[in-house]
Amino acid sequence: MSTVAIIALFNAQGMGGIPGTKLSCELSQNGLKLIVTMVNLYFKQIWLTPIFLTIFSFEEYQAQTICPNMTWSPDGITIAGSSLGLSNNTAAYLNMPQDVFIDQNGTLYVLDSENLRVQRFFSNSTIGTTIINGTFGYKLNQFYTMDGISVDLNGNIYILDHGNERVTKWIPGASNGTVVAGNNGMGNRINQLYLPYGFFVDPITLFIWIADTYNNRIVRWESPSTGIIVCGSNGTRSDQFYSPFGLFVDT
């Protein structure tokens, strides 16, 4: 049986980021290990089922109900992009990277959202190669937003695009993606998504698990035509969500 960990992130209203500051926490329970990292943001609360973590004020450098092996680091090692926070569209830079994926060979894939591209960085290289290069729009060679990335064992790339309400799959070298979830407009029917912000691709079955954020539910797509509601609805009960932003499936 798969275990699903749901992550809901809430930005504390009126607070900004602390440039260059990183908070990491390694959570382990029943053999499931998850690394939670927060960069340049204040987060008021994090819920990780079944582990509960609360951070009241990052600036105060204190926390309550927090895991015992919490680590704090004021400095990081830049492995892709500018160490000074600069941005442009050249091979050594990024512009608003939204997500990353590291494959079994240690190759880093970066969802370079404002450049509407995917950059690949081989181990120990800070120069990226563009392997998907899109433009803004709704066609299958375009993106409205770029929110999540996953790569399967065959090198196929999956991209979550909440603005187009879909997930597309890109085979190596392809100039167009194919729809594997959504693309039926914004809505709450089982063949629709409503501003999804998180997803997970099962490496074995290739089922697409989606945090259907504004529908307050988790759905699984086993075929491109329709999804299956796994759990959730809007509310405060233990079987409900309020804007789930991410998930992890222990396969």
Query: Per-residue pLDDT tens for 199-242?
Result: 999 999 999 999 999 999 999 999 999 999 999 988 888 888 99
CA distance 99 to 138: 20
pLDDT at 30 over 80: no
Tokens of 17: 């980021």
Average pLDDT, the chain: 78
Query: How does pLDDT run across 137-184, given as a tens digit for each residue?
Result: 999 999 999 999 999 999 999 999 999 999 999 999 999 999 999 999
Q: Can you tell me the distance from the alpha carbon of 68 to that of 111, in angstroms, rounded to the nearest whole number? A: 32
Structure-model confidence comparison of residues 108 and 12, the more confident one: 108
pTM: 0.73
Question: Strand, coil or helix: what is 242?
Answer: coil
Q: What is the DSSP letter of 126?
A: -
**Is omega for the bond preceding 196 within 30 degrees of 0, making it cis?**
no
If pLDDT is split at 50, 70 and 90, which confidence band does 41 have? very low
Residues linked to residue 167 through DSSP beta bridges, in sequence order: 160, 181
Q: Chain-centre distance of CA 25, in angstroms?
A: 17
SS3 of the chain: helix, strand, coil, percent, to 5: 0, 45, 50
